[in-house]
Amino acid sequence: MSATLQALGLDSSTADFLQSVPEELVPGRVARVDKGLATVFTTDGPVRASWSGALLTAIAADAQAGPCTGDWVVLRFWPDDRITVESVLPRRTAIVRAEVGGSSRGQVLASNVDVIAIVVGLVPEPNIVRIERFMALAWESGARPVVVLTKSDLVGDADSVAEDVALAAPGADVLVCSATTGPGMDDVRALVAGDATLALLGSSGAGKSSLVNALAGVELLDVQDIREDGKGRHTSVRRELIVLPSGGIVIDTPGLRGIGLQESGEGLAAAFPDITALAERCKFKDCSHVMEPDCAVRAALDDGSLPYRRYESWVKLQREAAYMARRADIRLRNEMKKEWVRASKSYRRDHKPRP
């Protein structure tokens, strides 16, 4: 596959940045990362590249500095035929998942994404709480979230489900489609108009890879075997960027089990604009919306304008974000301690008492 950088989704800020890159370096976009190598699409087709020394040093300090699917990078072609990623260009947007149980540093799932589609199958019945959680992750990325309800060929009342889902995803369009029979696919295709980059996120078996195949018009990706029923098995195993023959870029991802939220809580506020607005009207600035007087959130629960289910889901995600923030604090303290130990060791080395 060879294409212009525009067809790979080049935006104006990245294009500006590339102006200042030395001529011997070659720009490209990371399609996937596996076995310690990146597959990078360039205007001369795909190449496999390893990491430069400088990049390895950057990764040692911050795992997020490593190339991920969607990144713009510059490559160096060595006389001995090696190809290395010299650097990763600044990310315009990034989908970052807090690592469940791991370090408090997030894992970058995909970058430079314009639109995030939360893909949800209409069968089994959509889990609203899970959609709210995905929305918080999506809003945090800086990309525009939409919900794509797929497998509409399997249900009769897709539109009424779409209305319920829309209530759980304020500010996001909700599309209904079927990858198998085709209705609604034009609306999905419109998301990549103008060589935009669309990332598909969702549970395993939701139908993400099937959507990519339907958009591409060919069976590019493996999809789950129908007999396997989607129980605990992931068909797609890596994140992969695909340039559609008809234009536009789509990033397929493996089904997410844990959707850890980042500590900032910004995505959460954007996913729950209704509750965020109510909370601003509470009497106390640090209102916990549990027992304080003149609490606008409790009042909305009492008069029924705020569904209790939505409130509960918000409280739970809120606690989680607070927990992540504490973990990030601890990480920062530990890093400072390490730095201090290193500094004092070198001080002792340089100031050894003379024998």
Helix (H/G/I), strand (E/B), else coil: 309: helix
User: DSSP 3-state assignment of 60?
Assistant: helix
The binder of ligand GTP chosen from 92, 208, 239, 310 (CB under 6 A): 208
DSSP per residue, 215-254: HHTS--S----GGGTTSS--S--S-EEEE-TTS-EEEE-P
Q: How do strand 37-42 and strand 45-51 relate by DSSP bridges?
A: antiparallel
Q: Which CB atom, from 115 or from 179, has the smaller least distance to ligand GTP?
A: 179
Candidates 53-61, 132-140, 207-215, 267-275; binding stretch for Mg ion (CB under 5 A): 207-215
Residue nearest to ligand GTP (CB): 255
Determine which residue in the list 150, 209, 213, 318 makes contact with Mg ion, applying CB under 5 A. 209
* Orientation angle between helical segments 158-168 and 128-141, nearest 10 degrees: 50
Q: How far apart are CA 40 and CA 345, in angstroms?
A: 42
| Bridge partners (DSSP) listed for residue 30 | 40
Task: Kindly tell me which of 179 and 243 has the beta carbon lying closer to Mg ion.
Answer: 179
Cβ count within 10 A of residue 80:
5
Q: Which residues contact 85 (CB under 8 A, 6 or more apart)?
A: 38, 40, 49, 50, 51, 52, 55, 67, 73, 74, 75
The single residue among 14, 42, 111, 236 that binds Mg ion, judged by CB under 5 A, is 236
Beta carbon nearer to Mg ion, 204 or 264: 204
The secondary structure of 256-269 as a DSSP string is: PS--BPPTT-HHHH
Q: Restricting to residues 263-282, which ones interact with Zn ion according to CB under 5 A? A: 282
Q: Does 209 bind ligand GTP (CB under 6 A)?
A: yes
Q: Where are the beta strands (DSSP E) in the chain?
A: 26-34, 37-42, 45-51, 72-77, 83-88, 94-98, 106-111, 115-121, 144-150, 173-176, 197-201, 240-243, 249-252
Nearer to ligand GTP, 89 or 158 (CB): 158
What residues numbered 235-264 form the site for ligand GTP, per CB under 6 A? 235-236, 254-255
Minimal distance, residue 228 CB to ligand GTP, in Å:
8
Helix axes 128-141, 308-350, angle to 10 degrees: 40
Minimum Å distance from CB 274 to Mg ion? 33
Under rule CB under 5 A, residue 295 binds Zn ion: yes
Please calculate the CA angle 150-198-124 and round it to the nearest 5 degrees.
20
Query: Does 153 count as an annotated binding residue?
Result: yes
205, 121 in Cβ contact below 8 A? yes
| Stretch near Zn ion under the rule CB under 5 A, chosen from 19-27, 31-39, 97-105, 294-302 | 294-302
Q: Which stretch binds ligand GTP (CB under 6 A): 167-175, 183-191, 198-206, 241-249?
A: 198-206
Is 337 annotated for ligand binding? no
Residue 297, binding choice from Mg ion, ligand GTP, Zn ion, none, Cβ under 5 to 8 Å by partner class: Zn ion
Written as six digits, the tokens of 293 are 């007087």
Site string for ligand GTP, 294-313 (x = CB under 6 A): --------------------
Give the sign of the dihedral formed by CA 123, CA 124, CA 125, CA 127: negative
When CB distances are held under 5 to 8 angstroms depending on the partner's kind, the choice from ligand GTP, Mg ion, Zn ion, none that residue 133 binds is none
Q: Which is nearer to Zn ion, 153 or 292 (CB)?
A: 292
Using CB distances below 5 to 8 A depending on partner kind, what does residue 267 bind out of Mg ion, Zn ion, ligand GTP, none? none
- Does position 130 bind ligand GTP by CB under 6 A? no
Nearer to Mg ion, 238 or 338 (CB): 238
- Closest to ligand GTP by CB, 181 vs 246, is 181
Binding residues for ligand GTP (CB under 6 A): 150-151, 153-154, 178-180, 202, 204-210, 223-224, 226, 234-236, 254-255
As annotated, the binding site for Zn(2+) includes 282, 287, 289, 295
Binding residues for Zn ion (CB under 5 A): 282, 287, 289, 295, 297
As annotated, the binding site for GTP includes 150-153, 202-210
